[in-house]
Structure 1
Amino acid sequence: MIQKSPCDRALISSEWLSTNIAVLKQAFPYIKEFNPKLIVVVRDEEPLVRSMYLQLVKGYLYDPVFVGVSDFRKAKILAVARFDRWWKVARHRFVYGRMLRGWIEMFGKESVIFIPYLQDRHFDIVDAVCGVLELEVHQRLKNRNRSIGPFAARSAILGSDFGRGFGKFLAQVSGKLERWFPRLNNVGLLGLNSEEVAEHYRLENEELAANWPDFSEALRAARSPRADH
């Protein structure tokens, strides 16, 4: 299908790749003929893991994949009720060097392109990626993946003691309150020590940054606070 296409490039976007690059080794003989490039969106690690945790909480409430989890209390057994318990198990997944190792072994460092995820509300990841590929965005799809904040996540976890449905209801109500009163987003997550998380990844990524200027530059830009106006 790809060989017959008149297009000279194809973009595959999936968070799945960040933790499953090794699976691509099975298709390496087929993929290498297309001279693939890996576009890595580099994000400040503490906001990244916090965002992934919130997505996990949301997933147990809404995602059809978790329909079998009839009671949110079962999800608590999987350490989702407190950030620190979840992070203790999952933190290795967010080290850039480990994520990229399999790809580099197959296609080399020169095939990797880094884009910093800027801390600016005007930053648009679609524009950033398409800009690297020199593609024009003709049509934008409405983002239906509305995120939840820490206030909604804590409400959902507490409410889930009375059943998954009630936890979902509280998440919806709290989510609206977060949008009406943005300061609610300053509510901390249970078990989150931001300084500890930041220091852990600073040390983990130090060697990679020292030996890869492009990554170092993207990470520095991603960590830089920007005016929100």
Structure 2
Amino acid sequence: MTSTLPPAPERFADLADLARTLSHAHRLLLLEHIAQSERPVERLAELAGLSIANASQHLQHLKRAGLVLSRRDGKRVMYRLGDGPILSVLDALRRQAEHRRAAVRALLDDAAARPETLDGVTLDELLRRLGDGDLILLDVRPADEYAAGHLPGALNLPPERLEHGLEQLSAGAEIIAYCRGPFCMLSTQAVAALRARGLNARRLDSGFPQWKAAGLEVETGAPAGADKKPLRVAG
């Protein structure tokens, strides 16, 4: 029996297009408000905290994907949800996000109760391993602190950028995260989040100040752009 389904690559291309459309927080927020009732673009912009022009741009993306429909009501443009199981898709995304958050919370709770679960890499161990060639140094401090000085070759992904920077991290490499020192929680939280996503991550049990105090080489400069390839430490 001949299948009437399009080839697999085309089916997954459609899914990828839909995922790209939904991959913006403002669009998800607009859908949340539209799901409550049909609304004009001016009201949607107000509810989402956006300019009318910005809201209109996002709504056009949603409309092209068939996620919303529009109609004219006098001078106003009204938006409502499109056809199909859109609410089910949004609900599935919420449940998946909550599942991931719960996994991160559980790992953080476990780390707080048993710090050994997020075992640290000592400065001596890091220095011995710098020539491995399969090691990613991750600086999770704010961008201005990174620019003022960081470990050579380190990638800068502060907490607010970590989610969108995951594509820069190679799944096969070991990631060593560091921040401001042994009592800074930024690296601990980053390692917990990365491990929850299946990545091999550990934290440096000291931080940049200890590296600098040891007289080791320091680089300066703004963070690399998001289009850079994963940064690996080589000898």
TM-score between the two structures when normalised by the length of structure 2: 0.21
Structure with higher Rg: it is 2
Higher strand share: 2
What's the TM-score, normalizing by structure 1? 0.21
Greater RCO, 1 or 2 (C-alpha within 8 Å, sep 6+): 1
The structure carrying a bigger helix percent of its residues is 1
